[in-house]
Amino acid sequence: MLFNNVIAIDLGTNNTKIYKKSKGIVLDEKTSVTVDEKKNIIETGNSSFEMFEKTPAGKKVVFPLKGGVIADFNNMTKLTNAFFKKIKYTNGLLKKCKIYVAVPIDISEVERKAFIDLMYSSKISVKDVVTIPKPIAAALGAGIDTASPQGHMTVDIGADTTEIAVISLGGIVTGKLLKIGGNKLTESLLSFVKKNYNLVIGFKTAEYLKLNVCSACNNNFQEVDITGRDIVTGLPKTIKMSSVDILNPMEEYLYEIIDAIKYILEKTPPELSADIIETGIYITGGGAQLDTFDLLISKETGLAVHKTTEPNFNVINGLGKILGDSISH
């Protein structure tokens, strides 16, 4: 196997990241494609996402991954090829490539195989595809020694899913995939504003409010102006909302994540439970960026909670470690 013929891919519902051995992260783009009425690709990645909620009739922005798995194989294949082209892995520049792909836990064999088939369906020469459970990659990216017999708990909060796992001796002892992620929080805010204020706001606006105004522990009070379209008049309208109002529709889902963490803790063998009391909980993924969510989890579980640096990149950096690269923290 040639030195440069190894790459790793983290296919996320919102973002796709590609890591090249000895080079680091060579691509980080939105997992979206814009198609026309004939299903031809117009734009991919970040350029496509810029069109989200702005496309005219006849054009549509598509997200081929749903719930952490491939929902639209055809468009996902086209998007993957576009990403490979961007990093110059086409036209014979890379032969017999070995690819490591991060996959969710608790998915079916058919869903797991779809990730493998996606790589073989691409336009590059593939020698081998290896799937790695996302919690293992996330733990490695967070600096955890996964091969150690000491137990560690990771909570990877992605766009569509949250993966909770207890890791020891290089494997997952117990784990759970929850169909709740950052997008569910954002969508709950969209519905709340529409129902209570008769105002339609965009997904990107709701996402901004979630990450920049909301506080999970309710201890950073803010008030902001929000502009959208009035349902009654159809005209633009601006209202004032507080961080408390913004948190309101999200709390139910935050506590579902916390309840799932408690469930996994209850299922954890006693010796590993003792380790987790010592090592605490590591939260990774984009959802870890929600202000004070780490404090809320700590309050509800009584355990120390570590919010990793650059949580969005824990999985891809963990894959980089599997490739043999040294990742600094």
Residues 237-245, mean pLDDT to the nearest whole number: 95
Confidence of residue 4 (pLDDT cuts 50, 70, 90): low
Single pTM value for the model: 0.92
pLDDT of 286 strictly over 90: yes
Q: What percent of the chain has pLDDT over 90?
A: 89
The larger pLDDT score, comparing residue 91 to residue 308, is at 308
Domains of the chain: 6-136+316-322 (3.30.420.40), 144-307 (3.30.420.40)
pLDDT of 174 strictly over 90: yes
Beta-strand pair 162-168/152-157: antiparallel
CA-closest candidate to residue 142, choices 326, 323, 319, 311: 311
Q: What pLDDT, on a 0 to 100 scale, did the predictor assign at position 2?
A: 44
Mean of the per-residue pLDDT values of the chain: 93
180 DSSP β-pair partners: none
pLDDT of 180 strictly over 50: yes
pLDDT of 1 strictly over 50: no
Q: What pLDDT, on a 0 to 100 scale, did the predictor assign at position 188?
A: 97
pLDDT of 92 strictly over 60: no
Q: What percent of the chain has pLDDT over 70?
A: 95
Residues 307-311, mean pLDDT to the nearest whole number: 91
Q: What pLDDT, on a 0 to 100 scale, did the predictor assign at position 259?
A: 98
Confidence of residue 95 (pLDDT cuts 50, 70, 90): confident
Confidence of residue 87 (pLDDT cuts 50, 70, 90): confident
Confidence of residue 88 (pLDDT cuts 50, 70, 90): confident
Q: Which phi-psi region, left, alpha or beta, contains residue 88 (left: φ > 0; alpha: ψ -120 to 50)? A: left
pLDDT of 5 strictly over 90: no
**Gyration radius (Cα) of the chain, Å:** 21
Q: What is the pLDDT of residues 34-49, one digit of tens each?
A: 999 999 999 999 999 9
Q: What is the pLDDT of residues 294-307, one digit of tens each?
A: 999 999 999 999 99
